[in-house]
Amino acid sequence: MSDLLPYYKETLSRELVQKGIKNFKLSDNGDNSSEEVNFIIYSPVIKNRVKLNRDFSRFKNLKAVLSLYAGIEDFIGNKTLKCPLIKMIDKTGLTNSMVEWCLAHTLRLHLGLDRHILGQDGIWRHKVKPPIARDRSIGVLGLGELGRPVSLFLKKIGFKIFGWSRTRKNIKGIICLHGTNGLKEVLQNSEILILLLPLTKDTKFILNNHSLSLLPRRSQIINAGRGELIEDTSLIKNLRSGHILNATLDVFQQEPLPREHPYWILPNVTVTPHIAADTPVESSSKVLASNIKDLIEGKLPNGVVDLNKGY
């Protein structure tokens, strides 16, 4: 259930064989309600601007669904899914991409690089000195597969990191907080705020007028989670007033972001087209093959999603 099979076919076949799995057939004919299907590899498919809603109940011998992506909100409320859902955890590919993207944009905002890249006007502004990481506090909402390594890399450079998760965490060098009071403390200390939360009923519009007002004046936001984490009208109001200095957004409530959307026009918004962390074919094929091997052997691999929790 993915239109990416042509890109995966060769590499995934090779990785499956390397794992000792030989008797298999890869097919993208999802309409065949086949008793032969044991595993479904999933990525969202959009037809006529609408994401296809999948019916898994037709596959009587389905053992697991393996998502090519880390975000799994498409499955929430899908009552036809009765087997384990495994999200993509690809440390060498997807995770590294996210770390690189977040690092790049955090440093860009921290050092005010746009001023020099976009504003070459012949004026020698030597008195505006770049700050150093030690003097900057960063908040990271979400300390999971992606938020945790992003926090640790930023910490390594010297930033002071406030992290927030649903459950209590203890990560060396990171100020780990949770719960409503924890969120307040993270926001109040975030000169740069990075969103790496999944979209759930509890995280939807977590950045709204109230939470944005808790951020320090002239703070900056990076959203690499999901568009619906942010109430757009509130963010736009805060960007226009200058309370929020910049928003760098990779994910949007509607994708592709419509041409007429204010985010394209606001001078203090950077739009990137949901590219923060792609799933590379090579590394994710290894993960898929290893997960399928585990499942065949009756073991649950890393990344089993708790659909009740919503991520």
Q: Which residues bind ligand NAP (CB under 6 A)?
A: 70-71, 98, 142-147, 164-167, 196-200, 202-203, 224-226, 250-251, 274, 276-277, 311
User: How open is the CA angle 41-45-50, to the nearest 5 degrees?
Assistant: 145
Rounded least distance, CB 106 to ligand NAP, Å: 15
Strand segments, DSSP code E, in 82-181 are 85-86, 137-141, 160-165, 175-178
- 14 or 274: CB nearest ligand NAP: 274
Between 59 and 291, name the residue whose CB sits nearer to ligand NAP. 291
**Of 112 and 144, which CB lies nearer to ligand NAP in the complex structure?**
144
CA angle (175, 179, 185) in 5-degree steps: 50
CB of 35 to ligand NAP, least distance (A): 32
Q: Which amino acid is at 50?
A: V
Residue 217 appears among annotated catalytic residues = no
DSSP H or E run through 285: helix 281-296
Q: What number of other Cβ atoms are within 10 A of residue 274's Cβ?
A: 17
Q: State the DSSP H helix or E strand holding residue 149, giving kind and residue range, or none if neither.
A: helix 147-157
Which of 226, 240, 259, 261 does the annotation list as catalytic? 226
* CA–CA separation, 204 and 186 (whole Å): 18
Residue 43 CB, shortest distance to ligand NAP, in Å, is: 12
14 is catalytic: no
Q: Which residues contact 186 (CB under 8 A, 6 or more apart)?
A: 139, 141, 162, 163, 164, 177, 193
Q: Give whichever of 59 and 162 is closer to ligand NAP, judged by the CB atom.
A: 162
Residue, CB closest to ligand NAP: 144
3-state SS class at 50 = strand
Q: Which is nearer to ligand NAP, 70 or 161 (CB)?
A: 70
CA distance 310 to 239: 30
What does the alpha-carbon distance between residue 100 and residue 80 come to, in Å, rounded to a whole number? 37
Q: Which lies closer to ligand NAP via its Cβ, residue 16 or residue 68?
A: 68
Least Cβ distance, residue 18 to ligand NAP (angstroms): 25
The least CB distance from residue 107 to ligand NAP, in Å, is 18
C-beta of 232: minimal distance to ligand NAP in Å? 17
Q: How far, in Å, CA of 230 to CA of 222, rounded?
A: 11
Among 58, 178, 243, 274, the active-site one is 274
Which residues are tagged catalytic? Answer: 226, 274
